[in-house]
A and B are shown apart, each in its own frame.
Chain A
Amino acid sequence: MTNSVIKGIVATFDRDNIDTDQIIPTEYLKSIKKFGFGDFLFDGWRYLDEGRLDMTSEDRSKNHDFILNKEPFVNAEILLARDNFGCGSSREHAVWALRDFGFKAVIASSFGDIFYNNCFKNSVLPIKLSKEEINHLFEISSSLPVSFQIDLKTKDLKFSDDSYYSFDVKDSLLDRIINNLDDVDITLRDKANIETFEQIRRNQRPWLFDYTN
């Protein structure tokens, strides 16, 4: 199955520097699972009480002013933010939380490097647009709930009937989302090259391999 179109409601976060500690607080990093983080997304803003890994959204006292607690944003699939989204800690749990909540794309004027990479490994599409374009998208989405449509094949973001912005993202990265590819499998196709490289290195830099402690 391929995922080449994302269409969904836009939730706006009018802030710079939303870091991965905000996206999912450290408390939830204690899980050893790779799924089930959706209830803890933006935990500090979304709930009034302190949460734990064994709680669900139902057990908690919600902050009803927070966008993801309001209709129709509980079903939002696209997140719109400003600058440097996903900066800070390398925790992949941040992307897992966005993914498990239901987000399929995040639009911002820039991203933390590690977060950006982590997105593609979990079928969340990060889209970089210029600050002017982001300003404009905030203008049209802040008063009324809106939907955007994102075409991964043509790399367009359609935001009203006939207007769109094009975005740039590496084809190989996009390919992973569209075709659900796994990096380990792709790399192991070149196993022989890695083995050769390693053997040369073993001869040239023996101290890296001769190490006991």
Chain B
Amino acid sequence: MPVTLYDKLWDEHLVQTDDNNESLIYIDRHYLHEVTSPQAFEGLRHKNLKPWRLDANVATPDHNVPTDRGDSFNATSIEDEVAKIQVVELDKNCNNFGIHQFDITSDKQGIVHVMGPELGYTLPGMTIVCGDSHTSTHGAFGCLAMGIGTSEVEHVLATQCLKITKLKNMLINFNGHPQKGVTSKDIVLHLIKLIGTAGGTGHAIEFSGSYISSASMESRMTICNMAIEAGAKVGLTGVDQTTLDYVKKHSNLSDSMFTKASKYWQTLKSDTDANFDQIIHIDVSKIKPQVTWGTSPEMTIDFDADIPSHEDIDEANYENLLLAKSYMGLDDSKTLQDLSFDKIFIGSCTNSRIEDLRDAASAVIGKKISKDITEAIVVPGSGMVKAQAEEEGLDKIFLDAGFLWRDPGCSMCLGMNPDQLKPYERCASTSNRNFEGRQGNLGRTHLMSPLMAALTAVNGKITDPS
């Protein structure tokens, strides 16, 4: 019987299923960071247990690290007492238990979902978990990757397994060539607008079609990253030559091991005629650049469309619309072009890879950021991205235009570190969540591509990227 990629990965890792249809799935790679791990380590100590398999774990601090660290910074230099406690606690836990960590002083440290693939810790066909919902990113490598809660972090540390039930299969076929100025971020935002933030709930979403085949690993990661914003714990794409080329370049496997593994990796795609519970076809050539107007990623429109008003929606959603408009300060605005922006954030596990920075730099080269913008920051996703960008001179382009060039971390994706919005500030952000208060108390977030955010920095407003 033809099977889907998700089903293949499931079968490959299935240890056992109990009478209640709950399964133990063996976990190949476990990423850890400072925010969702302390209570899990506390749990291990409490039960007097050790991690099951040390070499499956890799840790790094990312969520609450300051991003203007410069040289000779270490965990104890963090000013925010509470953030310091967490980063120091991660150091302590990794040292005590023997877990490999890229600590805050490492030149490889970064957002865990950016750092992992670059350092070759993400390999095709793995099951990958992390106490972070954007773990779906790693699905771009034909992995079964998903975010888990802290109790599950403890469970994986202690047993090398995750206890879950099987998801349904959904296929999204992206076909066609995107228009100029349209990136993978626009394509995934468009999808979320279409199916809603609960559209993929209970499903593993496989992304396929001619657009995906021609897309880079970076673009695939951006799309799988935001599967969670479409409600799906798991997003994934099949393995092809693009995947193998990336892995060859980034992993430390010996040639003979790589060749051996490649034979297996090449089978990691859905069989023709595999059965999906739901299939959606999307012609990407029709997609315009997308920008969110509201407080949920599904509140997305074409950059030049009217912001929805009550005439556009049914009564059931009226209340949600009013709340979002009032929070975002949109009562008198008809279009996104009417809005003035205060801050620009280029970064996050969605859009802080080298390709994203190149895209953004192309829009600001030789230009200056608008006088209306009070702060524009570029935060590379990892030490490797930072070094690569500096080698290409991208840092200079950003600095010359008036951007700040920072050290790797989650930064202004979430208000856990010093990079935050002040109340009512409006931000053009390349991150993935525009929830109320996400980037700082009462801050207003508009999600968009790196290209669009860079243009907004230059013009102070949303403009046509083509």
Contact of A207 among B20, B26, B123 (CB under 8 A): B123
With A19-B435, A112-B201 known to touch, is A29 a contact of B35 (CB < 8 Å)? Answer: yes
Contact of A30 among B39, B83, B132, B437 (CB under 8 A): B83
Sample of 19 more A-B contacts, CB < 8 Å, known A90-B132, A114-B147, A184-B159: A14-B319, A21-B436, A32-B85, A32-B89, A34-B39, A83-B198, A90-B133, A90-B147, A92-B151, A93-B150, A117-B164, A121-B151, A183-B151, A187-B155, A187-B159, A194-B161, A198-B26, A207-B261, A211-B252
Chain A residues lying within 8 Å of B30, measured Cβ to Cβ, are none
Which stretch from B41-49, B305-313, B329-337, B369-377 is at the chain A interface? B41-49
* Contact between chains at A113 and B201 (CB < 8 Å): yes
CB proximity to A under 8 Å, residues B199-251: 201-202, 228, 231-233
Contact of B433 among A30, A50, A88, A113 (CB under 8 A): A88
* Contact between chains at B132 and A194 (CB < 8 Å): no
Q: Does B397 count as interface, using CB distance less than 8 angstroms?
A: no
* Contact between chains at B147 and A118 (CB < 8 Å): no
Chain A residues lying within 8 Å of B160, measured Cβ to Cβ, are 194, 198
**C-alpha spacing A24/B83, complex, angstroms:** 17
* Contact between chains at A22 and B436 (CB < 8 Å): yes
Q: Does B280 count as interface, using CB distance less than 8 angstroms?
A: no
**C-alpha spacing A92/B159, complex, angstroms:** 19
Give min CB distance, B292 to chain A, whole Å: 13
Chain A residues lying within 8 Å of B195, measured Cβ to Cβ, are none
* Contact between chains at A197 and B15 (CB < 8 Å): yes
Q: Does B131 count as interface, using CB distance less than 8 angstroms?
A: yes
* Contact between chains at A88 and B86 (CB < 8 Å): no
Chain A residues lying within 8 Å of B35, measured Cβ to Cβ, are 29-30, 91
Chain A residues lying within 8 Å of B339, measured Cβ to Cβ, are none
* Contact between chains at B202 and A113 (CB < 8 Å): yes
Give min CB distance, A132 to chain B, whole Å: 12
Chain A residues lying within 8 Å of B202, measured Cβ to Cβ, are 113
With A183-B163, A184-B159, A194-B15 known to touch, is A21 a contact of B438 (CB < 8 Å)? Answer: yes
User: Which residue of A has the minimal Cβ distance to B160?
Assistant: A194
* Contact between chains at A30 and B416 (CB < 8 Å): yes
**Pairs across A and B, CB under 8 Å, 17 listed:** A16-B320, A21-B437, A22-B436, A26-B414, A44-B437, A84-B201, A114-B148, A172-B18, A172-B19, A184-B49, A193-B15, A194-B24, A194-B26, A205-B261, A206-B257, A208-B28, A213-B120
Q: Does B415 count as interface, using CB distance less than 8 angstroms?
A: yes
User: Which residue of B has the minimal Cβ distance to A85?
Assistant: B198
Number of contacting residues on B, CB 8 A? 85
Contact of A211 among B43, B55, B89, B232 (CB under 8 A): B55
**C-alpha spacing A194/B148, complex, angstroms:** 20
With A88-B433, A118-B149, A208-B123 known to touch, is A172 a contact of B159 (CB < 8 Å)? Answer: no
* Contact between chains at B197 and A84 (CB < 8 Å): yes
**C-alpha spacing A184/B150, complex, angstroms:** 12
**C-alpha spacing A201/B29, complex, angstroms:** 14
Chain A residues lying within 8 Å of B163, measured Cβ to Cβ, are 183, 187
* Contact between chains at A44 and B433 (CB < 8 Å): no
Q: Does B38 count as interface, using CB distance less than 8 angstroms?
A: yes
CB proximity to B under 8 Å, residues A133-148: none
Chain B residues lying within 8 Å of A63, measured Cβ to Cβ, are none
Chain A residues lying within 8 Å of B21, measured Cβ to Cβ, are 170
CB proximity to B under 8 Å, residues A80-126: 83-84, 87-93, 95, 110-114, 117-118, 121-122
**C-alpha spacing A25/B437, complex, angstroms:** 7
Contact of A53 among B82, B123, B147 (CB under 8 A): B82
Q: Does B119 count as interface, using CB distance less than 8 angstroms?
A: yes
Give min CB distance, A6 to chain B, whole Å: 21
* Contact between chains at A172 and B85 (CB < 8 Å): no
Chain B residues lying within 8 Å of A212, measured Cβ to Cβ, are 252
Q: How many A-B contacts if CB must be within 8 Å?
A: 198
Contact of A201 among B26, B39, B80 (CB under 8 A): B26
* Contact between chains at A27 and B415 (CB < 8 Å): yes
**C-alpha spacing A110/B201, complex, angstroms:** 9
B contact set with A: CB distance below 8 Å: 15-16, 18-22, 24, 26, 28, 35-36, 38-39, 42-43, 47, 49, 52-53, 55, 63-64, 80, 82-83, 85-86, 89, 100, 119-121, 123, 125-126, 131-133, 147-152, 154-155, 158-161, 163-165, 197-198, 201-202, 228, 231-233, 252-253, 257-258, 260-261, 264, 296, 298, 317, 319-320, 323, 414-416, 433, 435-438, 441-442
* Contact between chains at A188 and B435 (CB < 8 Å): no
Q: Does A149 count as interface, using CB distance less than 8 angstroms?
A: no
Chain B residues lying within 8 Å of A15, measured Cβ to Cβ, are 319-320, 323
**C-alpha spacing A213/B119, complex, angstroms:** 8
Most buried by A among B64, B82, B119, B121: B82
Most buried by B among A25, A50, A111: A25
Give min CB distance, B181 to chain A, whole Å: 29
User: Which residue of B has the minimal Cβ distance to A45?
Assistant: B436
With A88-B433, A184-B155, A187-B24 known to touch, is A29 a contact of B416 (CB < 8 Å)? Answer: yes
Q: Does A166 count as interface, using CB distance less than 8 angstroms?
A: no
- Counting from the closest, the 4 A-B pairs by CB-CB distance are A32-B38, A172-B20, A92-B149, A121-B151
Chain B residues lying within 8 Å of A19, measured Cβ to Cβ, are 296, 433, 435
Chain B residues lying within 8 Å of A32, measured Cβ to Cβ, are 38-39, 42, 85-86, 89
User: Which residue of B has the minimal Cβ distance to A27?
Assistant: B415
Q: Does A71 count as interface, using CB distance less than 8 angstroms?
A: no
Q: Does A161 count as interface, using CB distance less than 8 angstroms?
A: no
Chain A residues lying within 8 Å of B228, measured Cβ to Cβ, are 88
